[in-house]
């Protein structure tokens, strides 16, 4: 009787371990989604993204103003290249609907073109 109880216990332990591993593999995608949602909803993450949009937008305006007052054509072209890169980064963040883009302030533009800030 003791031998059969040991065999049954061993069998149940093996089945439980194999099922648990399969369950965790199956559930890993779901848990990663929950973790991602938690990170997006985290108050520190919200505040960081909200502030990032305002900081980036103000930096874009500042670099644009600097480019307008430059007289050297090479410096102006270099500054415009940097400005274009900053605008691309801003637009990329703004279009992210699952994370950063959610926390852009309503008074900031959704999309910026170089012609919007540099005329």
Compute the average pLDDT of residues 11-16. Answer: 67
Give the per-residue pLDDT at 5. 72
pLDDT at 16: 67
Q: Which helix (H) or strand (E) holds 42?
A: none
What is the C-alpha separation between 12 and 18, in angstroms, rounded? Answer: 10
pLDDT band at 21 (very low <50, low <70, confident <90, very high): low
* Across 38-42, 67-71, 106-110, least confident range: 38-42
pLDDT tens column, 50-88: 899 999 999 999 999 999 999 999 999 999 999 999 999
pLDDT mean over 96-100: 71
Model confidence band, residue 90 (pLDDT cutoffs 50, 70, 90): very high
């Amino acid at each position: 009787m003791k031998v059969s109880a040991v065999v049954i216990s061993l069998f149940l332990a093996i089945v439980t371990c194999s099922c648990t591993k399969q369950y965790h593999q199956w559930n890993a995608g779901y848990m990663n989604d929950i973790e991602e949602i938690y990170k997006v909803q985290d108050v520190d993450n919200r505040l960081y993204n909200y502030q990032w949009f305002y900081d980036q937008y103000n930096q874009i305006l500042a670099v644009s103003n600097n480019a307008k007052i430059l007289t050297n054509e090479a410096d102006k072209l270099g500054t415009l290249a940097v400005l274009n890169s900053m605008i691309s980064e801003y637009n990329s963040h703004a279009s992210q609907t699952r994370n950063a883009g959610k926390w852009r302030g309503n008074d900031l533009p959704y999309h910026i073109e170089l012609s919007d800030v540099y005329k």
